[in-house]
């Protein structure tokens, strides 16, 4: 539970977001809709910048990741394979008296609908036993609304990546290890959306599935598997890396990403899930947490998911999800028999464990696992996966919370005014530069300011403002998080001598300092700072 | 109906899109899901580029447009106000014999499910009367699935813009005329998805709602309303423009956009809807059509929607949607009484017509319209809107169809090979440049090639390829639509003299021509071509 001071801070942030057009309640004029939020002009730019930076960092700047953009509605079979149809649910209790429906784990907190002085568990209403309530939004595709037409809005973007794994592999000239990245909307019918945009029913994810060789294949090829214990710290990707090093590598990459867009390391925490907290398919999961005013909460989870997902889709679709690895096949042939047997056995055990866990009968599981392990000799295996999965909306909220600061200015007469500065990293800031003629009624200033604006605009988001005192205009840009303001003044026109002609005042948001820069040099000065 | 030659062309395009990772069938491993398509690595890049160019052109490069990113699920009240709940439907007929459900307007074409030699209208099955089948996907929000929890996936992005009109206006420092732009997914449960990705059930839109003064306000301020007849052709936006000039302006802007991303004017057609084709709220609609292989079909519609949408939301939400215009208030006070009366009367008539059409009783409509018209004197009105609404997916398909070409190379021995070149405009091309060391087993070439790659990569999407003959590699990039290939060869290393040292071969996709460019000058040479 956040302390009152933190609650006050959140209130201020929510109010600023509405006032400056970062975030609005969805359908506000109709009283809103619980768990849905819209991004206004500044919020939409902020979000675009963050998604674009993620995409650039994860795909375009790397050799080993390809992109994907899949649909939100997919075959319902996908959600059977992933386990979401069977288990993606909260247990709910119905009260037959008040007709309310409540999460079973919250009946000791939630007030009764008829007697709010009592909790649901204390009231006398007759209650049903807990029943599973699936969190996927359901709809029907096609003209007939029957069982066969049921479809779901995806509760995560990851599964599309697994379902299209083979298509991407075959068309992208990648080979394992490589990743597939996707950004897109996902939906969860949360019973209790809360903490502003942090837990919403409609949200956006940025997910990478990074496919790696199983450790047995690495060992066959490289002779031994590097682990954090043997190798310590990941430097350049290495052919000998096992899943643990790949996992650690991605944790560090992702933290670098957050630092690179302005979340200091001190605002982040790394949380290694305990064995009993891990999802059944996960070998390890690290949560990257951010210190929100309402508590320290997850921004991203980085899970080592073994070969669970591809295996499930292979079982459910009947389509092979394994890859062929020439290097493994060659290496295998050169291994001594005992080594082959040892690797075979370990791979077999892992596959059998997976199959039995997934409900395959023991005899069939042994048979299938044998076949899987026999594949190694032919260079075949099902890749394992490391999944860095980030939430866009909670990252936007983290960036706003982190950027929020107040300063108090006191004027000559001792009158104080407190105002907000959003200290966004220039890379994510919605507006990169404010361009302002000192006075709007001097055509020479206006003409020059428009020239400067038009010179910068093809390269970055510019806000042109000629209204009000220059101090007011700076303050407005501070509140929007604009890192730089450029003012065109009489010096620019050459009225204070040749030296200052065609220079502008560049004012820095965070310390208010000003410097003069030549118009001809301005773009080159700004560009590396805002990209 | 497309001729066989066009069908063959579409088949080739569909096959290329799958083979090169532009477009996959959604959930393909599970047999697919009708009307849903995924974008693979090249398709995802192509789509990102198109959306980014639209957003830049429509918002960042303009003073008068703000962005928005709203949710897909909104309050169901929005779709009551917009008319979608009541009227966004196709008439369907059920056959009680075969249990099929068919679009009433297609029963003369569709074969009977039991006797395919007959059409549905010919067969003897007992049929129901046509019933309205709503095209919105429906779901439930929250834990209880009852009437009050029904929600819809938005069938268009436009309505969110209208619902948030006031929030954007109040936070963005814009005033009428100005626009709100949005890119995002929309969903229509089409009975017959067809023509590949052209008509899908899940698709993406790029919509601008551009809000303008009603003509009566323009006339009050400017003395007269400019029309295409009085003014001819829109140059710079003018305060005297009426809705017809704004409409024409946007038609021309949008055609310029398509030309700017590589669709020649000759592939486009402008279709002015006839009065009997217009939607009930539209004063005029222009469709921009593209000549697809399967027929000439709509890419974008540009509708003059009067003040219908904001008026509906005002009526349904009870929240005022009008704006206050100081210029109008001042101008109005200076008008002669007869002029005021004339404008008042015209505005009144328009409002009354809208209200009566919307089902408001005559007496109430008169009363409300009187109040609306009285607002003019206080500078108040409900803005009119021009809506350029484009489909992303059909634009992607148009770009691919337009880019598709085949060339036949004949070698020394007279052996011919036909291969594909996708002649994308460099601005939209998924990969901007291929970077290739002439030989992969020469460390000096590889090192230099990696340097070139790393120099370009922060600025554009680069594909590094060192596998196969250089001719093969060029052909692969031609097929992906990459406009430029850069080869690092022995000249680059200075082995053919100082003059050629640190230059590379730049090879042009469309004519195969090559030129040598200094590595130091390469980025500046490429950047203006691909942005």
State the sign of the Cα–Cα–Cα–Cα dihedral B48, B54, B55, B61.
positive
What is the reported pLDDT for B151? 97
Whether B2 has a pLDDT exceeding 60, the answer reads no
Interface probe, candidates A41, A62, A101, A449, chain B, greatest B C-beta count within 10 A: A41
Q: Are strands A433-437 and A484-488 parallel, antiparallel or unpaired?
A: parallel
What is the reported pLDDT for A1? 45
DSSP helix/strand/coil, B121? coil
What is the reported pLDDT for B482? 98
Q: Which of B55, B141, B462 sits opposite A33 (nearest CB)?
A: B141
CB atoms within 10 A of CB A178: 20
Percent of chain A, pLDDT > 90?
82
pLDDT digits (tens, 9 = 90+) for A176-195: 999 999 999 999 999 888 89
A35 interfaces chain B, CB cutoff of 8 Å: yes
Contacts of A430 in chain B (CB under 8 A): none
The first and second tokens of residue A80, run together, are 């059977």
CB contact under 8 A, A187 and B19: no
Q: Kindly provide the ipTM of the predicted complex, given to two decimals.
A: 0.95
Q: Are strands B202-212 and B384-391 parallel, antiparallel or unpaired?
A: antiparallel
Q: How many Cα atoms are found within 13 Å in the side-chain-facing hemisphere of A49? A: 27
B134 interfaces chain A, CB cutoff of 8 Å: no
The first and second tokens of residue B245, run together, are 């000039």
Of residues A151, A199, A157, A204, the one with CA closest to residue B139: A151
pLDDT digits (tens, 9 = 90+) for B335-362: 999 999 999 999 999 999 999 988 889 9
| Residue B405 bridge partners (DSSP) | B421
pLDDT digits (tens, 9 = 90+) for B116-164: 888 888 888 888 988 888 999 999 999 888 899 999 999 999 999 999 9
Q: What mean pLDDT comes out for the span B95-99?
A: 85
Contacts of B48 in chain A (CB under 8 A): 55, 67, 69
State the sign of the Cα–Cα–Cα–Cα dihedral A276, A278, A283, A285.
negative
Q: What mean pLDDT comes out for the span A377-404?
A: 98
DSSP helix/strand/coil, A117? coil
CB distance B93 to B127 below 8 Å: yes
Task: Give the pLDDT band of residue B398 (cuts 50, 70, 90).
Answer: very high
What is the reported pLDDT for A233? 65
Whether A234 has a pLDDT exceeding 70, the answer reads no
Q: What mean pLDDT comes out for the span A271-279?
A: 92
DSSP helix/strand/coil, B109? coil
The H or E element that residue B228 is part of is: helix B228-231
User: Which DSSP letter does residue A58 get?
Assistant: I
The first and second tokens of residue A410, run together, are 């006191």
Length of chain A: 531
CB distance B386 to B243 below 8 Å: yes
pLDDT digits (tens, 9 = 90+) for A218-229: 999 999 999 888
CB contact under 8 A, B29 and A166: yes
Whether B230 has a pLDDT exceeding 50, the answer reads yes
Q: Are strands B178-187 and B65-67 parallel, antiparallel or unpaired?
A: parallel
Whether B1 has a pLDDT exceeding 50, the answer reads no
Q: What mean pLDDT comes out for the span A72-82?
A: 97
pLDDT digits (tens, 9 = 90+) for B447-502: 999 999 999 999 999 999 999 999 999 999 999 999 999 999 999 999 988 999 99
Provide φ and ψ at B510, rounded to 5°: -75, -35
The first and second tokens of residue A183, run together, are 């950004």
Q: Which of B133, B185, B467 sits opposite A143 (nearest CB)?
A: B133
Under 8 Å CB pairs connecting chains A and B tally to 237
CB contact under 8 A, B68 and A44: yes
Count of helix runs (H) and strand runs (E) in chain A: 17, 23
B465 interfaces chain A, CB cutoff of 8 Å: yes
pLDDT digits (tens, 9 = 90+) for A328-363: 999 999 999 999 999 999 999 999 999 998 888 999
What is the reported pLDDT for B99? 81
The first and second tokens of residue A414, run together, are 């001792």
CB distance B274 to B250 below 8 Å: no
CA distance B28 to A77: 11
Helices (H), B323-361: 326-333, 337-357
Helices (H), A388-518: 392-403, 443-456, 470-480
CA distance A182 to A185: 10
Q: How many Cα atoms are found within 13 Å in the side-chain-facing hemisphere of B70? A: 35
Of residues A337, A326, A166, A327, the one with CA closest to residue A240: A327
Task: Give the pLDDT band of residue A237 (cuts 50, 70, 90).
Answer: low
Of residues A46, A21, A54, the one with CA closest to residue A429: A46
Give me the DSSP letters along B164-175: THHHHHHHTT--
A243 CA to chain B: closest CA distance, Å? 25
The structure tokens 């095209």 sit at: B135
**Which of A417-437 are b and which e, b meaning 16 or more Cβ less than 10 Å from the residue's Cβ?**
eeebbbebbbbbbbbbbbbbb
What is the reported pLDDT for A182? 98
CB atoms within 10 A of CB B186: 20
Interface probe, candidates B44, B46, B320, chain A, greatest A C-beta count within 10 A: B44
B104 interfaces chain A, CB cutoff of 8 Å: no
What is the largest distance, in Å, between two alpha-carbon atoms of chain B? 91
The structure tokens 């919250």 sit at: A106
Peptide bond into A238 cis (omega under 30): no
The gap between the terminal CA atoms of chain B, to the nearest Å, is 38
CB distance A395 to A299 below 8 Å: yes
What's the mean pLDDT when you consider all of chain A?
94
Of residues B492, B504, B485, the one with CA closest to residue B434: B485
CB distance A366 to A289 below 8 Å: no
Q: Which of A26, A71, A202 sits opposite B26 (nearest CB)?
A: A71
CB contact under 8 A, A38 and B70: yes
CB contact under 8 A, A77 and B37: no
What is the reported pLDDT for A97? 86
Count of helix runs (H) and strand runs (E) in chain B: 17, 23
Q: CA torsion B318→B321→B327→B333, rounded to 10°?
A: -30
More confident residue, B228 or B46: B46
A356 CA to chain B: closest CA distance, Å? 23
More confident residue, B177 or A228: B177
A93 CA to chain B: closest CA distance, Å? 10
CA distance A403 to A425: 8
State the sign of the Cα–Cα–Cα–Cα dihedral B217, B220, B221, B226.
positive
Q: Give the contacts of A136 (CB within 8 A, at least 6 positions apart).
A: A79, A84, A85, A88, A152, A153, A155, A187, A188, A189
pLDDT digits (tens, 9 = 90+) for A407-466: 998 888 999 999 999 999 999 999 999 999 999 999 999 999 999 999 999 999 999 999
DSSP helix/strand/coil, A132? strand
CA distance A149 to A271: 41
Q: What mean pLDDT comes out for the span B384-404?
A: 98
């Amino acid at each position: 539970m956040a302390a009152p001071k933190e609650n006050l801070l959140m209130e201020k942030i929510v109010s600023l977001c509405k006032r400056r057009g970062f975030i609005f309640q969805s359908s506000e004029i109709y009283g809103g809709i619980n768990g849905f939020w819209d991004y206004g002009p500044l919020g939409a730019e902020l979000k675009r910048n963050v998604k674009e930076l993620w995409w650039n960092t994860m795909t375009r700047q790397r050799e080993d990741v390809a992109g994907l953009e899949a649909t939100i509605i997919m075959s319902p079979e996908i959600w059977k394979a992933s386990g979401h149809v069977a288990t993606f649910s909260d247990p709910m209790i119905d009260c037959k008296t008040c007709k309310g429906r409540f999460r079973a784990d919250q009946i000791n907190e939630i007030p009764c609908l008829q007697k709010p002085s009592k909790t649901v568990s204390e009231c006398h209403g007759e209650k049903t036993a807990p029943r599973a309530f699936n969190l996927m939004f359901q709809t029907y595709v096609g003209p007939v609304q029957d069982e066969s037409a049921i479809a779901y809005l995806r509760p995560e973007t990851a599964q599309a990546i697994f379902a299209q794994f083979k298509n991407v592999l075959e068309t992208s000239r990648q080979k394992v290890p490589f990743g597939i990245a996707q950004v897109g909307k996902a939906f969860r019918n949360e019973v209790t959306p809360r903490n502003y945009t942090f837990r919403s029913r409609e949200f956006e994810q940025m997910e990478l599935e990074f496919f790696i060789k199983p450790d047995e294949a690495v060992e066959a090829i490289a002779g031994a598997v590097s682990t954090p214990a043997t190798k310590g710290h990941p430097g350049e990707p290495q052919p000998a890396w096992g899943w643990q090093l790949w996992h650690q590598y991605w944790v560090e990459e992702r933290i670098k990403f957050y630092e690179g867009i302005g979340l200091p390391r001190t605002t982040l925490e790394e949380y290694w899930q305990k064995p009993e907290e891990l999802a059944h398919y996960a070998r390890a999961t690290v949560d990257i947490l951010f210190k929100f005013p309402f508590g320290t909460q997850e921004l991203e989870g980085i899970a080592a998911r073994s070969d669970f997902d591809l295996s499930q889709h292979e079982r459910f679709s009947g389509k092979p999800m394994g890859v062929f690895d020439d290097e493994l096949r060659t290496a295998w042939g050169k291994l001594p028999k005992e080594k082959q047997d040892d690797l075979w056995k370990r791979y077999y055990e892992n596959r059998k464990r997976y199959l039995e866990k997934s409900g395959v009968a023991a005899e069939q599981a042994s048979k299938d696992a044998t076949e899987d392990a026999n594949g190694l000799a032919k260079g075949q295996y099902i890749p394992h996966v490391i999944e860095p999965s980030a939430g866009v909306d909670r990252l936007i909220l983290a960036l706003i919370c982190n950027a929020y600061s107040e300063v108090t200015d006191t004027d000559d007469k001792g009158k104080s005014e407190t105002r907000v500065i959003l200290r966004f990293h220039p890379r994510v800031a919605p507006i990169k530069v404010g361009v302002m003629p000192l006075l709007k009624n001097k055509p020479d200033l206006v003409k020059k300011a428009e020239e400067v604006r038009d010179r910068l605009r093809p390269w970055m988001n510019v806000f042109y403002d000629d209204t009000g005192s220059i101090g007011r205009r700076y303050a407005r840009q501070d509140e929007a998080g604009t890192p730089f303001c450029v003012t065109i003044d009489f010096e620019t026109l050459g009225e204070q001598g040749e030296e200052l002609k065609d220079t502008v005042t560049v004012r820095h948001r965070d310390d208010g300092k000003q410097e003069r820069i030549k118009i001809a040099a301005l773009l080159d000065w700004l560009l590396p700072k805002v990209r």
